[in-house]
Each structure stands twice: as structure tokens, then as C-alpha cells.
Amino acid sequence: MSRVDSELSDILCSNEICTKIFDISRISGGCINNAFKFSTDAGEFFVKTNNTPNSKMMFEGEAESLRAIAAAVPDFTSQPLYVGSLLSGGALLVTTFLRLSTSHAKNAQILLGRKLSALHMSESPNGLFGFPVVTMCGATEQDNTWEKDWETFYKKRRLGSILDKCLKKNPRDTELRRLGDIIIDKVVHHLLKNVEVRPVLIHGDLWSGNWSVNSVTNEPVIFDPASYYGHSEMELSIMTMFGSPSRDFFNEYHTNHPRQEPAFEQRQELYQLYHWLNHYYLFGGGYRETSISIMKKLCNLVDE
């Protein structure tokens, strides 16, 4: 048993998650984490570790997100059991283990639409937009400070924040700065002025790699959340960026959450912009070109 495996085993046992470890398997944990399946006398558990300086905050945000999702829609995600620091540096998150299937058949798509619709009926407990803790979209900290209205939250806590991060990394990118100012000052209000937005619980990073099917129940499950109470359309925007659910999903989802008009498609681009800029911030490269292209298109909606 390696030093890391031994430390993780001690943590599970000392926190009374189990008393005996039978097997430890290394499994996929995404691009920024290490992940393990622990087979124990109390069942199977999923353990993620990360050694970056903000890893404990990241896992605390994920655990709070999982708790909120599980409370809103039972069996839609795993249950968080423990978040803590590692003596070797970094932090860990322990959750219940989900056996995942690769099948995304029609029935699973319909059920995903139904369950996500139910999640988006769970409204903010204080009527505000935000979340009690910081959550992280990939490796990017998200400021979830509560705001009274969605326009302010999206301008300050999402779009403005990620633009600032991009510009700190790329201070000579005057085009990004110019287009960003127009979108913050004019476009966001233009696209939200005729829409009523309620603060509902969203996963926050629901691309195709963050949902699957529980092979035991044959029902869809979501994971790796970066939750907050925001506009439900924000959730839909990332779902079509890197792969997409089928038409069956959207038909079921929009049965309970009809498309909000006017300008639904334009708002999808506005919300996708946050995620494209986040990818530009994290990975650079061609994501700038995509971001600039969307920004120019959005700026054409208003008089500069």
C-alpha cells in the first residue's frame, strides 16, 4: 500500500466511514484530480484528492453543491461524506460511490430532462442569487456573493469576474477589453430586460462529461458540480458546448420549463461566453478566437 493509499485509508477509518479496507482502485477523476474507489466493510466509496493550494475550498464547495442537489432531487447525485486536509498536502473529498454506465439511451435522456427540470424548481432559500460558499468551475474560483437580481450577479460575479482574470493574464488584449466593456455595459441588460429570472439551484458545470447513468438504477446522475442559485438558462448553455443531450432531453425539459422569449438563443450565447472565457483563462489557445467571435456577434445586438 502506498503512502497516499495508507493516509486515505486512515482518514476513512478514523472518521468512522468504515472499519476495514478490502481494496483500493485508482480511477478517472477528471483532468485536475486524482480519484480512487475504496471497497470496504461499509460498502464502496469514491475519494478525490487534489494538492493545489485552494483544494480544500474547492472540495468544500463541491460538497455543499452535492448536498443541495441531493436534497432537491433525491438519487440525482452522490452524497458527500467528508472533506478534509491531507498531511501530504492538499485535500480530499469522500462521497458515496456511483457505478456508471456508458449508455445514454432515449429513456435516460428523458429522465435527465425530468430530473434537471425538478432541480430547477428548487428556489434560493433567501430569494437571492448566489451560494453560501465559493464553488469552482474547473480550477476557477467562482464568487457567489449574494445579489438581489440576476443581471447584477451575472455582470459582477460571472462575466465581469472572468473578464478581469483573462485581462490580468493578457493585459495587452485591448480587443477583449473593448468588447467586454460593451457587453457588460449594454448587452447584458439588453438581453435580460424583458425576462423574469428566478434564482434556482443549478449544477453550474453540466457539460456532457459531468452526467451519466447509474448502472444500478438505470437513471441519470450528475456529478462534479459548481452550484449556485442562478438563471436556469445558464445551465442549458454549457450543455450544448461539448457534446449535447438529445432532442428527447430538451422536449422533456421544456415541458416544465418553456423557452423564455424573446432572445432565448442570444442569451444562450451570452451565457456560453462565460464558459468560453473560462477556458481561455485556463487553457489559452483557440478559446480566445471563439470568445472574441461570440463577443462581436453579441455586440452587434446593440449600438456601440
Active site residues: 205
Are the C-beta atoms of 6 and 88 separated by less than 8 Å?
Answer: no
- Look at residue 205 and give its three-state secondary structure: coil
Rounded Cα distance, 102 and 116, in Å: 19
Are the C-beta atoms of 191 and 263 separated by less than 8 Å?
Answer: yes
The three three-digit cell numbers of residue 153, written as one number: 450577479
186 DSSP assignment: I
Q: What is the DSSP string of 162-206?
A: HHHHHHHH-TT-HHHHHHHHHIIIIIHHHHHTT-----EEE-S--
Cα angle 131, 132, 136 (rounded to 5 degrees) comes to: 60
Are the C-beta atoms of 224 and 203 separated by less than 8 Å?
Answer: no
- Look at residue 108 and give its three-state secondary structure: helix
Rounded Cα distance, 68 and 48, in Å: 19
